[in-house]
Amino acid sequence: MTARRTMVAKFFGRLLPMSLLWVLAFPAAAWNAAGHRISAMIAWEHMDAPTRNAVAAILEQHPDFEHWQLRANGADPDLTAFLEASTWPDDIRRDKRFYTAGSEEPTSTQPGFPDMERRLSWHFVDRPVGWYDRLLPSPGVIDRQLVALARIVGDRKEKPSARAYALPWLIHLVGDAHQPLHAASRYGPDGRSDQGGNRVTINNPFQPHASSTSLHRYWDDLPGPPWLNGSRLHSTAIALTSRYATPAATGTPEQWIDESWQIASEHAYPPEIDAAPTITADFHNQALTIANRRVTEAGYRLAALLQQLLR
Ligand SMILES: [Zn+2]
């Protein structure tokens, strides 16, 4: 173990219990529902018919499939299930059937679910902006879960209920992996993590009704309003795919997370970090461009991944 690594390990040994609190306290979701739906809409548009059919057959086995159809509003049931699945891992944060490990008693397991844990640690990985050491443990495990879930979804010998449980998570986490602040946190001199910008208050003059918010929430909300759906969702997805071409390579979950970490290190934080910084027009325009590009890339990559796993 090098001297630096020893020092780093000590540093983290001190702050890890604090980061573990993040798993329990992590208040914001991820991209809001709009970000996840846009990525899912783009993915749907780019999947071939056999992949769409395979996705639909898996999601039909999900215990909440019928509930999702209540929100179809005349849309294709397969597309409805796919869009609803993309936000399902966030929806269960407010669902009383589920519980948060470490702060709530387990709730009784409903048919079709492995258990009712909310798995808040699956949504992110905690890597310090500017530098990180791959050997350091993170309370968040999105990197490992993306790999594990893809394996389950792609394995035709797995139980249908296991694949139906894994697929909404996989759809959702491909989106989260592209949100820069789901891959990075800034650490203060006291060793405390800002929890992916959740503990950074900013003033956002471009959102006059809720100008004081967390930096994490600011990024989550950039792709669009949470109610974005229907024809406006479709036109948003079309506009984004005409603006941003398919990424040269689909890449791996590790590469998507590395990209997010790099973006977070360079562009996610306003330059002034003390007090509550005010978002400038330049910062806002750049952040909007990054967020739009990332949800579009997530959509293209989700389509490629599912096609590779299911065709
Ligand atoms: Zn999430």
Residues forming beta bridges with residue 212, ordered by sequence position: 203
What number is the average pLDDT over the span 73-97?
Answer: 96
What's the pTM? 0.89
How far is the C-alpha of 137 from the C-alpha of 127, rounded, in Å? 9
Distance 25 CA to ligand 1 centre (A): 14
Distance 176 CA to ligand 1 centre (A): 5
How far is the C-alpha of 280 from the C-alpha of 272, rounded, in Å? 11
Q: Which pLDDT score is estimated for 9?
A: 40
Q: What is the pLDDT of residues 192-213, one digit of tens each?
A: 889 999 999 999 999 888 889 9
Is 277 among the domain residues? Answer: yes
Helix axes 49-59, 160-177, angle to 10 degrees: 120
Structure tokens at 140: 């968040």
Distance 55 CA to ligand 1 centre (A): 20
Structure tokens at 173: 């986490």
Is 264 among the domain residues? Answer: yes
The three-class DSSP label of residue 139 is: coil
Dihedral over Cα of 233, 238, 243, 248: its sign: positive
How far is the C-alpha of 115 from the C-alpha of 96, rounded, in Å? 13
Residue 223, judged by CB atoms within 10 A of its CB (0-12, 13-18, 19+), counts as buried
29-43, 125-139, 165-179: least confidently modelled range: 125-139
Distance 21 CA to ligand 1 centre (A): 17
CB 60 within 8 A of CB 161: no
**How many CB atoms are closer than 10 A to CB 29?**
23
Distance 141 CA to ligand 1 centre (A): 12
Distance 186 CA to ligand 1 centre (A): 19
Distance 3 CA to ligand 1 centre (A): 36
Is 223 among the domain residues? Answer: yes
Instruction: Provide the H-helix boundaries in 268-311.
Output: 281-310
The three-class DSSP label of residue 256 is: helix
The residues, any chain, with a CB within 8 Å of residue 66's CB and separated by 6 or more, are none
What average pLDDT does the structure give for the chain? 89
Q: What is the pLDDT of residues 178-197, one digit of tens each?
A: 999 999 999 888 878 899 99
Distance 1 CA to ligand 1 centre (A): 35
**How many CB atoms are closer than 10 A to CB 80?**
20
The proportion of the chain whose per-residue pLDDT surpasses 90, expressed as a percent, equals 76
Residue with tokens 């390990």: 9
Structural domain containing residue 203: 17-310
Residue with tokens 């890449």: 251
Distance 220 CA to ligand 1 centre (A): 10
Is 12 among the domain residues? Answer: no
How far is the C-alpha of 80 from the C-alpha of 159, rounded, in Å? 23
170-182 in b/e form (b: 16+ CB < 10 A) is: bbbbbbbbbbbbb
Is 22 among the domain residues? Answer: yes
Distance 117 CA to ligand 1 centre (A): 14
Q: Which pLDDT score is estimated for 273?
A: 59
The residues, any chain, with a CB within 8 Å of residue 213's CB and separated by 6 or more, are 201, 202, 204, 207, 221
Is 252 among the domain residues? Answer: yes
Q: Does 27 have pLDDT greater than 50? A: no
The three-class DSSP label of residue 99 is: strand
Distance 110 CA to ligand 1 centre (A): 22
Which residues surround the ion ligand 1 when the cut-off is CB under 5 Å? 30, 123, 176
Distance 205 CA to ligand 1 centre (A): 26
Q: Does 265 have pLDDT greater than 60? A: yes
What number is the average pLDDT over the span 246-260?
Answer: 91
Distance 290 CA to ligand 1 centre (A): 18
Q: Which pLDDT score is estimated for 274?
A: 63
Q: Which residue in 179, 123, 176 sits closest to 291, CA to CA?
A: 179
CB 90 within 8 A of CB 36: yes
Helix axes 281-310, 160-177, angle to 10 degrees: 150
With cut-offs at 50, 70 and 90, classify the pLDDT of residue 28. Answer: very low
**How many CB atoms are closer than 10 A to CB 224?**
20
What number is the average pLDDT over the span 141-162?
Answer: 97
Distance 29 CA to ligand 1 centre (A): 5
With cut-offs at 50, 70 and 90, classify the pLDDT of residue 261. Answer: very high
Q: Which pLDDT score is estimated for 243?
A: 96
The three-class DSSP label of residue 130 is: coil
Q: Which pLDDT score is estimated for 139?
A: 85
Distance 81 CA to ligand 1 centre (A): 17
The residues, any chain, with a CB within 8 Å of residue 5's CB and separated by 6 or more, are 133, 135
How far is the C-alpha of 21 from the C-alpha of 29, rounded, in Å? 16
With cut-offs at 50, 70 and 90, classify the pLDDT of residue 247. Answer: confident
Region of residue 246 (left: phi > 0; alpha: psi -120 to 50; beta: else): beta
Q: Which pLDDT score is estimated for 19?
A: 44
Distance 5 CA to ligand 1 centre (A): 31
With cut-offs at 50, 70 and 90, classify the pLDDT of residue 29. Answer: low
Domain holding 94: CATH number?
1.10.575.10
Is 245 among the domain residues? Answer: yes
Domain count, the chain: 1
Q: What is the pLDDT of residues 100-147, one digit of tens each?
A: 999 999 999 999 999 999 999 999 998 998 776 666 677 899 999 999
With cut-offs at 50, 70 and 90, classify the pLDDT of residue 248. Answer: confident
Distance 7 CA to ligand 1 centre (A): 32
Q: Which of the pair, 55 or 132, is modelled with greater confidence? A: 55
